[in-house]
Amino acid sequence: MDSVVSELEGTLLKNIDVFSYFMLVSFEASGLIRFVLLLILWPVIRFLDIIGMEDVSLKLMIFVAVAGIHKSEIESVSRAVLPKFYMDDLDMEAWKIFSSYDKRVVVTKMPRVMVERFVKEHLRADEVIGSELVFNRFGLAAGFVQSDSITTVSGRVAKVLNNEVPTLGMARLSTTTSSNHSFYKLCKEQMQPPFRTSQKYNDSQLLRPHPVIFHDGRLVKRPTPFTSLLIILWIPIGVILAIIRLTLGAILPFWAIPHMSRLFGGKVIVKGKPPLPPSAGGSGVLFVCTHRTLMDPVVLSSVLKRKIPAVTYSISRLSEILSPIPTVRLTRMRNVDAERIKYELSQGDLVVCPEGTTCREPFLLRFSALFAELTDRIVPVAMNYRVGFFHATTARGWKGLDPVFFFMNPRPVYEVTFLNQLPVEATCSSGKSPHDVANYVQRILAATLGFECTNFTRKDKYRILAGNDGIVSCTSLVDQAMKVVSTFKPCLP
């Protein structure tokens, strides 16, 4: 059996510097104070690297980033936050070579817990060899690593491969003298970046890494030292700016919001032609939107210059209080919710996001078919947004701060694309099933945005990111997460 052993940093990942990943753990698992402390120590860490004391600088980063943090928090960040940033830094040429072997082993200088989920679930590796964190009996990280976990890499590789010599070793030349890469010279063949694949692959033959569809955390960009400094300096300004924006949104009439938002850095791009308001006594239009943030219905109302009620599934009470538009909270009881939506439509227009939860990546989750049963006046609306510093959605954190984080961004941009109202032959009136209508709407919205359809649901998202289905605790996160990834598939035809 052909086998490959590859280092992660600087090989499978383009960047050899791991500082930004420890900054992510500091921010997402602990908070701003630890984030600032680690950034302050960056000159010391960099100096230790320059004088050849990489092991000392690595231990310093590990101690500051994880000391005192509970094991479950570190695992949560490793599961929900880090994979997105690893994937963005993936060297696809190295991945093509790595994935072509039968047995795949990854060696990392980071603690194993920080990379195992990504490497096994997305890069399809069989084993991960990295340092092991020390935890006390309360599950808190001591900030140290087990000494034998960084001194016996070649022995651990041999054990994983049943003492067989690896076929190929992949590592960066400048780091092969490190004890963490003692496996390299034991391999039959060695490769160093830059990688060039000699074999040509077509799309049907190429094995691809599993995509990162769900991810959590507030930071949009990987926190390099310079980016981290910008974030820290911006936060006080961003908080003040968010308060001003939220206050103006609450007191200004809707016709004035688009004009005022431009003065404070916001921008809304509108494409397509929105429908006219419903006539007196007529039933309203159901706007079916993609779900990017909690701001989707609010932005839609500001574009239409009138307050349109929004159907909500599970948002915080604070978000409802801050909302400048009426909200209609569903009960999760199908008959009750159907009657409630029908009543609201009889009073006028209504907004619904049938995905049931937000998704940051260019994917659409499965649409609930309930909306298709209740009306034929359906107008699909493709919503998308761009932010610079902070994400406006969370599965692990406090959802009530989602609008605040959105408005803390220097220049938040929303794109609203109105599609034509569905023709009668595309609705349930023509005999189509509600699922067919929902899938059709999902496909045309995905095509408009350049996104990909999936069959994932709200429960799948929370099983991956938060370890539950959004309602009750799940018993085996790993098993269910693996099941979700393995069943990735496009939407139904």
User: Could you give the C-alpha distances from 337 to 109, 283, 327, 343, 469, in angstroms and in order?
Assistant: 52, 18, 13, 10, 20
- Per-residue confidence (pLDDT) for residue 279, from 0 to 100: 67
Write the CB contacts of 39 (distance below 8 Å, at least 6 apart in sequence): 23, 225, 228, 229, 232
Tell me the CATH class for 234-486.
alpha beta
Tokens representing 145?
């690593």
* Confidence band for 475, pLDDT divided at 50, 70 and 90: very low
Write the CB contacts of 32 (distance below 8 Å, at least 6 apart in sequence): 232, 235
* Confidence band for 185, pLDDT divided at 50, 70 and 90: confident
Instruction: List the single range of 22-36, 204-218, 399-413 with lowest mean pLDDT.
Output: 204-218
* Confidence band for 187, pLDDT divided at 50, 70 and 90: confident
- Per-residue confidence (pLDDT) for residue 82, from 0 to 100: 96
Is the Cβ–Cβ distance between 266 and 366 less than 8 Å?
no
Is the Cβ–Cβ distance between 441 and 380 less than 8 Å?
yes
* Confidence band for 180, pLDDT divided at 50, 70 and 90: low
Tell me the CATH class for 3-191.
alpha beta
Mean per-residue pLDDT, 357-379: 92
Mean per-residue pLDDT, 304-325: 80
Mean per-residue pLDDT, 202-215: 75
Residue ranges of the domains in the chain?
3-191, 234-486
At 262-281, the pLDDT tens digits run: 888 889 999 998 888 776 66
Of 216, 268, 463, 490, the residue nearest 364 (C-alpha): 490
* Confidence band for 321, pLDDT divided at 50, 70 and 90: confident
- Per-residue confidence (pLDDT) for residue 204, from 0 to 100: 47
At 2-33, the pLDDT tens digits run: 899 999 999 999 999 999 999 999 999 999 99
Distance between CA atoms of residues 293 and 310, nearest Å: 13
- Per-residue confidence (pLDDT) for residue 327, from 0 to 100: 87
Supply the pTM of this predicted model.
0.87
Residue 407 has pLDDT above 80, yes or no: yes
Residue 467 has pLDDT above 80, yes or no: no
